[in-house]
A and B are shown apart, each in its own frame.
Chain A
């Protein structure tokens, strides 16, 4: 068990960060405005802090620690050049409200990122303001709403979401003031054209879709799908969470989508940071561009850079211009890979997924047959019926093989689901080792299921009591 930083604290211990010049506070602030409550922050030496976080780092697992095939999250390698570029003083030490002449480089980064992302998605304009994928969804839906309202189409207030969709899709629709119509997908996660046809109508604002879908399949009916929605007067929103499968090869704009969000922390290799920061740029076709939030960077005729303020903007969705340093990393990635590298990466991500799926299908049931795209979903329903070993047990057992488990129990339409996304930056050897571990776990499920219920055994802690945590919340030290 590792000590909390507060338990390491010792009264009077401190670093000497700032000059010890005495300041008479009450000379400036009336005493009734002053804090009376004790400021109970930890009191430590620099060595204490350094060791504390080194210990915490050892009890964490990142892409750098091993295989991390967390489906839908695209945990690819995070190139170090990108990190080095994002700490350059010329990017880090720039105030967001500096005069235009002093931020030409920042605007160039934004303008280039906007331009390349628009080209990659087949869109006409891109905003970098949204802070993550879900934030991009919210933004994209507000664009749709603003556009429909500008056309007098106030009755279009429904968003169609397949039941295989990420939970953020329906949640974003609600936040943007729409109501949600969930449509069932078929067993391969494909949109059922008849059900879609029946669902669209005068009240349809848009369809939200990810393609490849959350079962890792490319919906070959995509052009019919987007046509059905457009014919009914609705718009088509592309959830870019799964773009890594086809980036540089297929453009959402060519599939018939009007709006798209990207996750720079998935497809464009920026690190996930233990949960963030991400970045969720939104691209759109030209008829939606006047409604974009915030400011767009643009290159002027004389080669300098300036701001473009969309005329009918929905307003800002975040202060300033988005997670700029994340855009720096993504641009660095795009420049390195280029058109050829992106296509090769997508292709390899699909090859890696199929190669691993092929090996695992020797034992495990796949949620659907045939080739997959960048990820695949296994259903452990039968295994559970036969041996009592659940998707959770298999996931926890994988921890003892020093690899991160797949996404569990998603998509919701597959029972006992494990969703595996190897990404293109894993070698054949890593995939072979992973396959061995998965297959060994399957054998153990059949021969010694009990050992899997007890997994993991080698991790710093065993299975944790989640129910107890929620029932009796202790959310800070001392609760």
Chain B
């Protein structure tokens, strides 16, 4: 049996004696006898070394690609060494939600700094301490806008499928209607959107920048249309792209959300990631989850504390706007340390190098017969090409060369991604691999 119990059987006897009991079984006297098991039907425990072998065995069954040209909601960027170092500090790792402000100033301040950085990145007024991921952030944002007189949420069809699916599940749950607004050339079709908004039943419109196909949407123009029909604009943003692109604040968004994984989190087979949420002042009190505010202590010192708790489930119970309790605090800390390490120059550089790598990649691919860009408008670090061979075949052949290709889409389409990690030598190797396969 492996385990972490500091009390040995002699100690247990002492403790039982203090309680006037003769065996630990007596502690479970309230449990109906027929229900109490000796043990459950799983293997017996083992030593640390044996567990490590088993876990490493599983890790080694996975293929770690040396070059990754796939994004689609999860992005491989460079992670500065200090990020991993800071977020491994046990004081941060082993604490819980900072309910006791006096001994949790470090964590509270770190969240306050995170909220500030998210506001500065998005150009919004207030941010929360995080939710589970970008998709649940989008779903929570829809709920923030929900109104009995406006029972409809509209999502751009250019949002990532994962976001659309999660929003659909949440809307089904709460009884909110959801429709998906059609596209034109891979971008939100403004005319079709206006028609959907016409009867003013829509509470909000969600779109993502850059969109699922990597394209840059005219968010400011769309914001005007959405506001004209008295709906709210929710803008999903890629936080790396946000260093270069017009901010949600500049575009006139009411709520900004996004998947924070690119800010220092590894790919991790999909999680844990980071859902960030920020809002205009008018919608601040509708934000779900933990929020940290600045205040003073009884000695007049600056201090930080969980605030606006009257919104939350532990106070409002069934009337709460969200049920969220545990969030992704350590991932929020990761994002803060990442943003501090990169600084304004570094973050812009990560964005610029990703942008350039993607455009070089697109150019090199399209020089191979049969490859062509599916959409013609400007893109950030993802784009779709048609392929001369089946995308699944291409994926398989490149995988043999240690390269993770773009993501096969419907038909002959492939969604490619490049970041600052896809340097010239990686792109050369990819192109060479493709040429060998397509000849």
Contact = CB atoms under 8 A, between A and B. Distances in A.
Contacts of A269: 4
A97 B72 contact: yes
B355 A23 contact: yes
B151 interface: no
Contact of B316 (A30, A171, A246): A171
**In this complex, which of A63, A89, A339 has the most chain B Cβ atoms within 10 angstroms of its Cβ?**
A339
Contacts of A145: 173
Given A96-B267, A167-B315, A29 B347 contact: no
Interface in A249-265: 249-251, 254-255, 263, 265
A53 B86 contact: yes
Instruction: Give the size range of A's interface with the partner.
Output: 35 or more
A133 B327 CA distance: 10
Interface stretch (B158-166, B187-195, B227-235, B366-374): B158-166
A302 to B, nearest CB: 14
A198 interface: no
Nearest to A8: B340
B40 A342 contact: yes
Interface stretch (B123-131, B200-208, B430-438): B123-131
Contact of B325 (A19, A96, A132): A132
Contacts of A271: 93-94, 330
A275 B329 contact: yes
Given A41-B120, A50-B86, A355-B19, A340 B45 contact: yes
Contacts of A18: 78, 346, 349-350, 353, 420
A64 B318 CA distance: 35
**In this complex, which of B68, B93, B163 has the most chain A Cβ atoms within 10 angstroms of its Cβ?**
B93
A29 B126 CA distance: 28
Contacts of A478: 116
Contact of A427 (B7, B70, B344): B7
B244 A274 contact: no
Given A274-B107, A462-B297, A475-B127, A171 B35 contact: no
A73 B10 CA distance: 28
Nearest to A141: B173
**In this complex, which of B70, B76, B78, B314 has the most chain A Cβ atoms within 10 angstroms of its Cβ?**
B314
Contacts of A459: 102-103
A463 B290 CA distance: 19
Given A134-B324, A319-B273, A15 B40 contact: no
Nearest to B273: A319
A298 to B, nearest CB: 15
**In this complex, which of A30, A55, A318, A462 has the most chain B Cβ atoms within 10 angstroms of its Cβ?**
A318
A404 B126 contact: no
A475 B293 contact: yes
B299 A462 contact: yes
B3 interface: yes
A169 to B, nearest CB: 8
A240 interface: no
Contacts of B95: 60-63, 272-274
A358 interface: yes
A152 interface: no
Contacts of B290: 275
A337 B284 CA distance: 45
A81 B51 contact: yes
A341 B2 contact: yes
Given A88-B56, A332-B55, A477 B48 contact: no
B109 interface: yes
B104 A466 contact: no
Given A324-B271, A340-B45, A350-B27, A272 B326 contact: yes
A335 B42 CA distance: 9
Contacts of B168: 315
Interface residues of B, number: 203
A271 B127 CA distance: 24
Interface in A334-367: 334-345, 347-348, 350-352, 354-355, 358-359
Interface in B243-301: 243-247, 249-250, 259, 266-273, 284, 290-299, 301
A248 B132 contact: no
B307 A473 contact: yes
Nearest to A320: B270
Contact of A475 (B46, B126, B266): B126
A217 B333 contact: no
A427 B7 CA distance: 6
B52 interface: yes
Interface in B66-92: 68, 70, 72-74, 76, 78, 80, 82, 84-86, 88-92
Contact of B246 (A34, A319, A326, A469): A34
Interface in A422-472: 424-428, 456, 459-466, 468-470
A385 B275 CA distance: 45
A94 B82 contact: no
Interface in A47-66: 49-50, 52-65
A61 to B, nearest CB: 4
Nearest to B140: A175
A153 interface: no
**In this complex, which of A2, A28, A324 has the most chain B Cβ atoms within 10 angstroms of its Cβ?**
A28
B325 A477 contact: no
A265 to B, nearest CB: 7
Contact of B284 (A41, A405, A475): A475
A411 B175 CA distance: 30
A325 interface: yes
B76 A61 contact: no
A119 B117 CA distance: 44
Interface in A292-351: 293, 314-326, 328, 331-332, 334-345, 347-348, 350-351
Interface string B334-352: 0011011111111111101
B439 interface: no
A220 B30 contact: yes
A281 interface: no
A233 interface: no
B411 interface: no
A319 B247 contact: no
A210 interface: no
A79 B120 CA distance: 37
A351 B57 CA distance: 36
A371 interface: yes
Contacts of A161: 318
Given A91-B268, A97-B407, A344-B5, A428 B15 contact: yes
A1 to B, nearest CB: 5
Interface stretch (A101-109, A199-207, A282-290): A101-109
A166 B318 CA distance: 11
A243 to B, nearest CB: 12
B356 A167 contact: no
A42 B320 CA distance: 35
Contacts of A36: 246, 250
Contacts of A331: 55
Interface string A124-159: 000000011111011001100100000000000000
B82 A46 contact: yes
Interface string B391-406: 0000110010000100
B93 A464 contact: no
Nearest to B68: A95
A173 B173 CA distance: 9
A365 B262 CA distance: 51
B75 to A, nearest CB: 9
Given A18-B353, A293-B169, A428-B7, 9 more contacts: A15-B343, A36-B246, A52-B340, A98-B404, A276-B330, A278-B326, A324-B270, A348-B5, A465-B297
25 contacts: A18-B420, A23-B352, A35-B250, A56-B107, A58-B91, A93-B65, A133-B325, A177-B174, A177-B175, A180-B318, A249-B31, A249-B37, A278-B326, A319-B160, A326-B271, A335-B43, A335-B54, A339-B45, A342-B40, A350-B24, A404-B103, A424-B7, A425-B5, A464-B303, A469-B305
